[in-house]
Structure 1
Amino acid sequence: MSESIKDVQEQIVEDFSTFDDWMDRYRFLIDLGRALPPYPEQFRTDEWRVKGCINRAWLHGEARDGRVHYQASSESEIVAGLIALLLKVYSGRTPREIVDNPPDFLQRIGVWENITSNRINGLNGMIALIRGVAEAELKAA
């Protein structure tokens, strides 16, 4: 990947800054979620289910060629959009890049103040899964 995680996070912050209010940002998130590729049925298991999510969501990660690749899906359109943002930042990165770069952009675009506590729990669950796969790869190396 040519862009660093920091560059991708900056681009997301810039994209969100073009919207004046959170209704427009929600619509943007929903569009991002709708663009996620189909999620493989074989990974719709409890092992890959996002903990803390009221709506069912799954996030699968696996390492290939020294990088971690993620796939995800959610029954909630807004959660799917949040997943799309996380995948844009973290999928295809090395485990070290993932662990060393927290999702600071979420604070900067105002996600934490503008989603429900249930969605915050789910978002934290997604972040934990992403980090967990990367940390397991680092330990295995």
Structure 2
Amino acid sequence: MIFTSREDIEAPIDFVFAQVANFAALERSILRRGAEVQRKVDRTSAAAGMMWETSFDFKGKRRQMEVTLVSFDPPSSMSFEGKGKALNCDFSVDLVALSRGRTRLSLVAEIKPQNLTARLMIQSLKLARGNVTKRFEMRVASYAKDIEDRYASCA
């Protein structure tokens, strides 16, 4: 199952990439939402190979996933790969400079079931695809608005 979202942000591409690649802030945000995250492999600066161990509630059950930063190409893209017992997930972030002060953020998340139970769970998500897609897009829009606000406050 694939989710996509695209938002235009009133900020330069370098600023947007710096915000998206601020992993410490993202970790704090994840913790505030009730999930657990811990860096497993840390680098002195952001680079491919960074790893996190996460656990979160999904469909009424606690899930664990190991997330790896697969590619890191400043200031245009990065991709992550998550591996769990029942689900795998690929997540990519792409940035395109529309002008000097405007950037397009594109997110793609693909969830892949690894067993029959996970397939049934994904099937139930497909039945509610409209609501789930709407929530995903609203979360991305909120994140984009936060980045715009941070840029406006420091510019």
Q: Scaled by the length of structure 2, what TM-score is found?
A: 0.28
More helix by share: 1
Q: Scaled by the length of structure 1, what TM-score is found?
A: 0.30
More strand by share: 2
Q: Which has the larger radius of gyration?
A: 2
